[in-house]
Structure 1
Amino acid sequence: MDTVSGNAGMSTRPVPAEEALARATAILDAQPDAALAQAQAILEKMPGLPPAELLVAQALRRMGQPRAARDQLAALSLRHPRVPAILWELAQAARDAGNVDQALAALDRLTRQQPGVSGGWFLMASLLRRAGRTDDAWRADLSGVHAAARDRDLLDAAMAMHDDRLDAAEAMLDARLARLPDDPSTIRLLGEVHWRRGDMVRALALVERAVDVAPGFDLARDFLIRLLLQNNRLADALVHADILATSPLKNPGYDLIRASVLVRLGDQDGACAIYRHLLAQKPEQPQVWQNLGHALKTLGQQADAVHAYRQAVSHQPAMGEAWWSLANLKTVRLDAADVAAMRGALATLDSDPAERQEDIFHLHFSLGKALEDAHDHAAAFRHYDRGNRIRRTMIRHDAAEFSAEVAATRTCFTSAFIARQGAGGCPAPDPIFIVGLPRSGSTLVEQILSSHSHVEGTMELPDMMMIASRLASRVDDGEFPDFATMIASLTPADRTRLGEEYVDRTRVHRHADTPHFIDKMPNNWQHVGLIRLILPNARIIDARRHPMACCFSGWKQHFARGQAFSYDLDDIARYYRDYAALMAAFDAAAPGHVHRVIYEQMVADTPGEVARLLDYLRLPFEDGCLAFWTNNRAVRTASSEQVRQPIFTDGVDYWKHFAPWLGPLEQALGPLITEYPPKSALS
């Protein structure tokens, strides 16, 4: 225990006895037998000296004689019932002797006397759990966490961490763990220090340990779920979310985090049930209404989604994301009253622009969409431009650094390099990757293919990007001098293991018994070479759209996450150039390995393009692929409503309405415009 009042209340003796006790106490943990001998020698001279009797019991417990220690401590506690050190030792000795009830009785007395000492509560929780009293154990853990929140050592470490003095915080916490190796509050806080450093492996291990030590530590479990989500360990996250939802501390936030896990797993119905339950109890929750709208939109229940979003803005009129969610339905048009309401909301935010930037840029994107629908293209462009400029200041994207990474990948995966690697990789033919830029028609391709009886549509899966990032970190950490050397070091067995890892990690998203599934993460174009090495039988589809249409559409679309290049016309043009160059290089290195779908050709000749696509995938033609809009599967992307309608041609050249303001984009794209579609797509 950390800070019990040692021998408070015991009688004192002359200084030599105190010195002898101090010497014996100093060797107690390392040499309990020697400490016992010294304590007994003191008692021979001073029979009944309480500190010496306590020391005898402490030594006996450490020597593996818990029953003898318990008996001595029980007698000592009767004579000195208000000495915390005696009660603490009695609890541990009774526990070690197998007498849980006696241990709990001692801890009950101890925590009543010193409720601010967390160790007593945590030990009580572990014993209550052993006795099958789960709810009481949970509450004891919560009491321990509450007590730890006032601990000076932990407060100092937390302040150092929040001040970004991570080394100092770690040193404080390591010192505390040396004294208290199983203190869950210290372990959890140390996990957060490592998370802030970017060491996710160490952070996860520590926070998992904190939850193992104190299963009722709700805040640690909440943090663990968030870490698991960041690492895409969705099944594990759901296990912990299910546990957290049963906490005796009824916190709606725990229901919300469980709903977020269900959303990530594709269980939109389960998430909707949670949101509706929370709203039935307390309807004036704009964030919950918005979350419900997101889930309903994914399920294709547009009218209900609109209602949910409008409920959100009725409770919080300046809630920019809810307004954008309405505008982002694409098939919904915001009217003049909505425009007036959004302009009014912007006016209310002018007094505190720094704190409300997210609401402000969302409102600008929403006004851009509303005014575009009203054919006021000049005003729409001004709002899109303002929203993008604000958003660009809030994210980090180094276009030159990214171009250099793409160039390194492009020069690595040559035909000679691929040939030298030889056989290897996981032979599974299951994955179908759809890559490209956002707003390129990839959701349309996904919807067409997921309407085939042999193919399951999942979502934009992060797993390949996570594998690639882990490999790239080996270069960043200095293990390899460059990207090509690192990739070349992968043995056939390594590549097989990585491919199997991808298939295993994505299995949680597969709910249908189909031979193929789709991974529609567009950014995977950066990793087509890696996919070729670790999943040689996977199919890759490049969804390509006219560069002006694609870049402009991406620029006026606010993405929830992951597309940091899209908030500046020059950045997005450079990104498109990098993408086109890498895909052209890979076409030359592995001819025919990637199938390209040109959006404009798919719109003009859907049956012919679908037939070509299915032929590439070696799948029989099915009429359902041409009636893709009847597929009621969940769709999470910005095009979710558009792919629930038959193909229309209105959007092909829509960017031309904004041509007067897109000169810089056209100039930045250069010859990619005149050379579109690429020659390889026409062969």
Structure 2
Amino acid sequence: MTIHATPILAEAERLAADGKLEMAAQHVMGHLRTHPGDPRALALLGTIAMQLGALVQAEQFLRQAIARGASGFDVRRHLASILNQQERIDEAAALFEQLARETGDPTLSGMRALALDKLGRNDEAMEIHARLAAEHPGRPPYWIAYGHALRAAGRVPDAIDAYRHAIAADDEIGEAWWGLASIKQKVLTDADIAAMRAALKIAIDVRNTAPLHFALGRALHDRGAYEEAFTHYAEGNRQRAESIGYDARELTAEVTEVERHVDADFVAELEREAVGDATPIFIVSLPRSGSTLLEQMLGSHPQIEPVGELPYIPAILRSAMELATRRGKATVPQVIASLPAQVAAAMGQDYLRRASLHRKTDRPFFVDKLPHNWSNILFIKRILPQAKFVDIRRPALDCCFSNFTQSFSTAHASSFALKDIGQCYVDYVRLMAHLDGIAPGLVHHIAYDRLIEDAESQLRPALTYLGLDWDPAVLQFHTLDRVVRTPSSEQVRRPLNRDGVDIWKPYAQWLAPLRETLGALADG
């Protein structure tokens, strides 16, 4: 293998290090025109494409580089990262395992454990989390990951102990404090509040300060100090919003595009033969709407298997959009309409293959409850014509304020400002109303507030929509033994309750921006 260590590649590396990625890519492509197939150049181009978010291209370049001999550790580690970002989790887990064996790097073992968590291979993941925490007691991330896994498995006291180990190693570690605060018990003590206040005086990294504010807000809420709690929620959200630059207008424009260009004929074109044998049920909603509760209920039916929040639909759509936009700008409806039948079917099979990695039964139905799939319904229907959609809607003020008080990642970026989460709710309702108008019966709707008051009256019509008979097991959902990886993991192990009703009322005087954005929906 000949490696061309030329000045042009050295300059490309310098430009990439300075963040001038497009210029760096141009330099590398110029080099490849005179040195076709240079593995070092292909590897560098793959790394630049990864940094630009062009994951499909990045994978292609890195695989070409490896095939031509550039099989060094960093190249394969970048490939593992790309596979992980594409949610090709089984492939990523296998590569992380191989890399960890070569180096003994605990970070790679930790990445493998997180991938196994996603795949539902919880016992394997738990063993790795426990080992890493024991071997590296001074490294909080290992204790935090262990705590998250323990909590998902219902081992709440052990999870609390793990989070406190992380805090003992570094009392500024915001994610560990939020881990304690988000448990559905009043875990935080007065001494904890004092410790968090002290940490906020010296912590400077937003990855610590933002979750610290959320944790302190939750602790103060539990003590009825609502004004100060709101101040901390608002500051945590402000810091998160400032770090990512979310623009609510993009989602509004996307929904408007659907309203303008998607009609009954468009939806009729999506009706094709089923792909595969299983029928996926997509619970679609905003976060904090009761989707975990509904999944637990439906998953207690003997014909339905609950598999949690699968990240695959957004990942497959993202790859489709990347390929489509190489030729120029394209909207999601345009991409859906232009998908050849064979390509759409292949995407559906890809989804079902990935989903099968999480399945433990051969039940004919399974539930994917990733909330944000509400905006992906048309794409899902194109690649999985047999898919079913159940929307669960929580009253607007409760839903939006619950999002505002949750220390979410950037995956839920609309939650970081009251106006933004309000606008997201408005857009979600607009899309559901449009789909109901052009394709009645495509989506079945459930009201969260009615579900917790009279579950049977809401679940019977839902099962009829799915073509299933009533089974009283759905009312005994809290006895279902499974790992639950959402903020509601403890709630769904209890009988129905009204804990989530009217949670916004103590904060009513500070919610004017939310009310104004919601308009009439605020009273619904």
Q: Per-residue CA shift, 1:178-203, capped at 9, x if unaligned?
A: 89877655443221112223332221
Could you say what secondary structure the match of 1:245 adopts?
helix
CA distance in 1, matches of 2:13, 2:328: 33
Trace 1:273-284 onto structure 2 (pairs within 5 A).
273-284=127-138
- 1:335 aligns with 189
Q: How does 1:508-587 map to 2 (within 5 A)?
A: 508-587=357-436
Alignment partner of 1:320 is 2:169 = no
- C-alpha separation in 2, matches of 1:459 and 1:664: 33
Paired with 1:152 and 1:547, the residues of 2 have a C-alpha distance of 59
State the Cα deviation string for residues 245-299 of structure 1 (Å, max 9, x = none).
221x322222112212212212222122112222333322211111111111111
Partner in structure 2 of residue 641 of structure 1:
490
Alignment partner, residue 440 of structure 2: 591
**Matched ranges for 1:351-362 at <5 A:** 353=204, 356-362=205-211
- Choose 626-635 or 172-181, whichever is displaced more: 172-181
* 2:296–2:477 CA contact under 8 A, matched in 1: yes
Alpha-carbon distance change, 177 to 427 in structure 1, aligned in 2, over 3 angstroms:
closer
* Larger mean Cα displacement after TM superposition, 362-371 or 536-545: 536-545
Give, in whole Å, the separation in 2 of the partners of 1:280 and 1:427: 44
Q: Of residues 500, 516, 519 in structure 1, which corresponds to 2:349?
A: 500
- 1:510: how far off? 2.0
Equivalent residue number for residue 194 of structure 1: 49
- Structure with the greater relative contact order (CA < 8 A, sep ≥ 6): 1 or 2? 2
Return closer, same or farther for 1:494/1:285 CA change in 2, 3 Å cut-off. Answer: closer
Within-5 A mapping of 1:269-308: 269-308=123-162
Q: Counterpart of 2:75?
A: 220
CA distance in 2, matches of 1:170, 1:223: 17
1:4-403 residue pairs with structure 2 within 5 A?
A: 156-166=11-21, 168-170=23-25, 173=28, 185-212=40-67, 217-247=72-102, 249-349=103-203, 353=204, 356-403=205-252
Answering whether residue 253 of structure 2 is matched by residue 404 of structure 1, we say yes
Secondary structure of residue in 2 paired with 1:654: coil
Deviation by residue 1:479-506 (Cα, 9 ceiling, x = unmatched): 5765555443345445434433332332
The 1-side partners of 2:187 and 2:78 are apart by 39
In structure 2, the CA distance between the partners of 1:179 and 1:578, relative to structure 1 (3 Å rule), is: closer
Distance 1:628 1:276, change over 3 A: same
Q: What is the SS of the residue equivalent to 2:487? A: coil
Preserved contact between residue 43 and residue 70 of structure 2 (Cα < 8 Å): no
Equivalent pair of 1:574/1:668 in contact (CA under 8 Å): yes
Q: After superposition, give the CA deviation of every residue in 1:566-608 in whole Å (9 maximum; x if it has no partner).
A: 1000111111111001101111112122111111101101233
User: Normalising by the residue count of structure 1, what TM-score does the alignment of the two structures yield?
Assistant: 0.72
Shift of 1:163: 1.3
TM-aligned CA distance change 1:171 to 1:657, over 3 Å: closer
Alpha-carbon distance in structure 2 between the residues aligned to 1:341 and 1:176: 55
The root-mean-square deviation of aligned C-alpha atoms, in Å, is 2.7
Q: Which runs of 5+ in 2 are unaligned?
A: none
Q: What CA deviation, in whole Å up to 9, does each residue of 1:313-366 have, x standing for no partner? A: 0100000111011111233431211111100111122xxx3xx11211111000
CA shift for structure 1 position 238: 2.2
In 2, the alpha carbon distance for the partners of 1:280 and 1:650 equals 37
Summarize the Cα distance change of 1:481–1:622 in structure 2 as closer, same or farther, 3 Å threshold: closer
The structural deviation recorded for 1:652 is 1.0
Q: Is the 8 A contact 2:97 2:108 kept in 1?
A: no
Q: Is 1:632 aligned with 2:486?
A: no
Count of residue pairs brought into register by the alignment: 524
Counterpart Cα distance in 2 of 1:604 and 1:342:
38
SS state at 2:171 partner: coil
Deviations 1:208-240 (A, max 9, x none): 344455586222222211100111112211221
Partner amino acid for 1:603? I
The residue type paired with residue 286 of structure 1 is P
**Judging changes above 3 Å, is the alpha-carbon distance between structure 1 residues 367 and 654 closer, same or farther for their aligned structure 2 residues?**
same
Q: Which residue of 2 aligns with 1:620?
A: 469
Give the Cα–Cα distance (whole angstroms) in 2 for the partners of residues 419 and 623 of structure 1: 35
What percent identity do the matched residue pairs reach?
38
Residue 613 of structure 1, CA deviation? 2.4
Corresponding residue for residue 454 of structure 2: 605
Deviation at 1:548, TM superposition (A): 0.6
In the TM superposition, what are the counterparts of 1:405-420 in structure 2 within 5 Å? Answer: 405-419=254-268
1:40-96 Cα deviation digits (max 9, x unpaired): xxxxxxxxxxxxxxxxxxxxxxxxxxxxxxxxxxxxxxxxxxxxxxxxxxxxxxxxx
CA contact (8 A) 1:547 1:576 kept: yes
**Residue 340 to residue 452, structure 1, CA distance change in 2 (3 Å):** same
CA contact (8 A) 2:133 2:146 kept: no
Whether the 8 Å CA contact 1:300–1:632 is kept in 2: the answer is no
Question: Deviation string for 1:494-521 (max 9, x for gaps)?
Answer: 5434433332332222232221111111
Letter in 1 for 2:185: T
CA distance in 2: counterparts of 1:498 and 1:172, whole angstroms: 34
Q: Distance in 2 between matches of 1:284 and 1:301?
A: 22
Contact persistence 1:331–1:642 (CA under 8 A): no
1:14-60: CA deviations, max 9, x gaps? xxxxxxxxxxxxxxxxxxxxxxxxxxxxxxxxxxxxxxxxxxxxxxx
Change (3 A) 1:242 1:380: same
Tell me by how many angstroms 1:640 deviates: 1.1
The higher radius of gyration belongs to 1
Distance 1:299 1:381 in 2: 31
Distance in 1, Cα, partners of 2:129 & 2:337: 49
- Could you say what secondary structure the match of 1:394 adopts? helix
Give secondary structure in 1 for the equivalent of 2:307. Answer: strand
